[in-house]
A and B are shown apart, each in its own frame.
Chain A
């Protein structure tokens, strides 16, 4: 004999289609919520990892919109502003600066390979210091025309060390000296080259889009930035924390929007559940009257109906989580398209604690949506219901 649980399940199975559709409503809402939270965690972790990978403490750029700067540092989009040469001197003269290196990030068409490359001009001798975690197959560039390729770039076109690269506005052929092992950051998609070569390619002999600064001790950063601001007011300093915050705040607004959508879906889902259970209660009023006659109390009836609702929403919630995990890739692709900056690497990871929280949440929805129908059921007058 199988107890009250079986009774509730059998009741739900009486109208399979109705129960299933109601469940789907809850699945959709819980699935969206679950995705939003999973995404947010993956996003922040990915971002922190990526900023760590830059190896620098702050960037100096021409004054401009901070989002543009964040996007420049992380995404490599082209900013039209170039820094002038005097800036380097100013920065290097500040006490506590360990390293100041010009960086030129730009997009450059590569007709040979029919795409636009992201080039990253930097003092290649400094790379071992600012990117100590890179694992290079092949060699570090040792001459002006040697370049390094990011992992994804090399993988996509099946490029081996020693391959040649040509750009239309440069008469010399470039040689790939090494391929960078996978970093799961934006480094995977860049072409790294000596800054002088990048400057020639972009036709900006002394140009830099940013100056990356590494300090001796991170605690000194405030003082150093203060000094720099006093010396030059036309510059913008952006710390890695600010980049993190800017990107996170964009993510946060996207998150609140998705949350709002999820909540609307949830309310619709919950009303659907309430409606479906309410119908079931009306249809079964005779049966409920019978149960009262054979010894069920109001509370017993209340519990049976409430339990049915919770079973419905919990199964719906679990289906939602499964769909979110399976459909997560699609959602991730969508997010990459709408968000200005998204760290590379997996953003959706299955977090058991989050899944448990989602299930608990589904229980709470069930309890709330079931309250009214269960109360109604418990008030059914048995003699009205079972008039002989």
Chain B
């Protein structure tokens, strides 16, 4: 599904050049459940942003479903993100004024598909809310939710466009262990349903339960 060869990412910080990723080779197969671990500043988020087509590598090759991403235009990247990728963040990033249902439905507002906002969509959003255990919270706004509930809302939002790949950047970073476990279980369930899940985490215990660990240090993948 994903193939990285010699991928480089360089940032400019003033005159200094930061090599956030150095010659990264990585393959992700459909249905993988991978945990990305490594010390702070190692390049985990950078890697995830590249995998999520939010950022382009400075060098090397990046293929997504057999298509070369490196030279894609912005509009093509948008379509790829919209159709194939679901993002989950440490800070949830829910819209305060919107209900759980409306937050889950947010990506549909940007979808070009006919019927993305129709009757069927409503059923689908409700179904997703139930699936993440928010059946009784559908009309609440984020301020009325616990951290775990917020992150579950965000997971449902990541799923609404039926992506192939779920990318989560420290999804449990702001949660206690009980809630972390719940989130992990949901991600694990998604993997069992056939989705590809890549999750950055500092939680060794959770990382150990993933099918695969990707260790990064100083921008390089350790084998």
Find A286's partner among B91, B102, B106 (CB 8 Å cutoff).
B91
What is the CB-to-nearest-CB distance from B80 to chain A, in angstroms, rounded to a whole number? 9
With A10-B98, A293-B87 already in contact, the answer to whether A298 and B74 are too (CB < 8 A) is yes
Residue of A nearest to B55 (CB): A383
| A173 on the B face (CB < 8 A) | no
Residues in B with CB closer than 8 Å to A291 are 106, 110
User: CB distance A294 to B157 under 8 Å?
Assistant: yes
User: CB distance B95 to A1 under 8 Å?
Assistant: no
User: How many inter-chain residue pairs (CB < 8 Å) link A and B?
Assistant: 90
In the bound complex, what is the Cα–Cα distance between A298 and B93 (angstroms)?
A: 18
User: CB distance B108 to A1 under 8 Å?
Assistant: yes
User: CB distance A294 to B87 under 8 Å?
Assistant: yes
Residue of A nearest to B200 (CB): A388
Residues in A with CB closer than 8 Å to B48 are 388
In the bound complex, what is the Cα–Cα distance between A286 and B109 (angstroms)?
A: 18
User: CB distance A294 to B158 under 8 Å?
Assistant: yes
User: CB distance A386 to B97 under 8 Å?
Assistant: no
User: CB distance B117 to A10 under 8 Å?
Assistant: no
User: CB distance A295 to B110 under 8 Å?
Assistant: yes
User: CB distance B97 to A388 under 8 Å?
Assistant: no
User: CB distance A2 to B102 under 8 Å?
Assistant: yes
| A297 on the B face (CB < 8 A) | yes
With A6-B102, A292-B54, A294-B81 already in contact, the answer to whether A287 and B110 are too (CB < 8 A) is no
| A4 on the B face (CB < 8 A) | yes
Q: Using a CB-CB cutoff of 8 Å, which residues 353-388 of chain A contact chain B?
A: 382-383, 386-388
What is the CB-to-nearest-CB distance from A17 to chain B, in angstroms, rounded to a whole number? 15
In the bound complex, what is the Cα–Cα distance between A3 and B95 (angstroms)?
A: 13
With A7-B95, A294-B158 already in contact, the answer to whether A1 and B110 are too (CB < 8 A) is no
User: CB distance B86 to A3 under 8 Å?
Assistant: no
With A1-B122, A286-B93, A297-B75 already in contact, the answer to whether A7 and B109 are too (CB < 8 A) is yes
Residue of B nearest to A2 (CB): B102
| A13 on the B face (CB < 8 A) | yes
| A159 on the B face (CB < 8 A) | no
Residues in A with CB closer than 8 Å to B213 are none
Chain B positions 94 through 128: 1 when the CB is less than 8 Å from some CB of chain A, otherwise 0: 01111001100111111100000100011001000
Residues in A with CB closer than 8 Å to B44 are 388
Residues in B with CB closer than 8 Å to A139 are none
Chain A positions 1 through 32: 1 when the CB is less than 8 Å from some CB of chain B, otherwise 0: 11110110111011000000000000000000
| B82 on the A face (CB < 8 A) | yes
In the bound complex, what is the Cα–Cα distance between A298 and B54 (angstroms)?
A: 12
| B179 on the A face (CB < 8 A) | no
| A239 on the B face (CB < 8 A) | no
Q: Using a CB-CB cutoff of 8 Å, which residues 85-135 of chain A contact chain B?
A: none
| A296 on the B face (CB < 8 A) | yes
| A290 on the B face (CB < 8 A) | yes
In the bound complex, what is the Cα–Cα distance between A286 and B95 (angstroms)?
A: 11
Find A386's partner among B93, B106, B107, B109 (CB 8 Å cutoff).
B93
User: CB distance B90 to A3 under 8 Å?
Assistant: no
Q: Using a CB-CB cutoff of 8 Å, which residues 292-313 of chain A contact chain B?
A: 292-298, 300
Residue of B nearest to A11 (CB): B97
Other than the given A4-B109, A10-B98, A294-B158, 18 more pairs (CB < 8 A) read A1-B125, A7-B98, A14-B97, A287-B93, A290-B89, A291-B106, A291-B110, A294-B81, A296-B109, A296-B110, A297-B74, A383-B49, A383-B55, A386-B91, A387-B45, A388-B45, A388-B169, A388-B200
Q: Can you name 28 A-B residue pairings with CB atoms under 8 Å?
A: A1-B117, A1-B121, A1-B122, A6-B102, A7-B95, A7-B102, A7-B106, A7-B109, A10-B98, A11-B97, A13-B97, A286-B91, A291-B106, A291-B110, A293-B81, A294-B106, A294-B107, A294-B110, A294-B157, A294-B161, A295-B78, A295-B83, A295-B110, A296-B109, A296-B110, A383-B55, A388-B48, A388-B89
- The chain A residues found within 8 Å of chain B, CB to CB, are 1-4, 6-7, 9-11, 13-14, 286-287, 290-298, 300, 382-383, 386-388
Closest 10 CB pairs of A and B: A10-B97, A295-B82, A388-B169, A290-B93, A388-B45, A296-B110, A297-B78, A293-B87, A1-B105, A300-B110
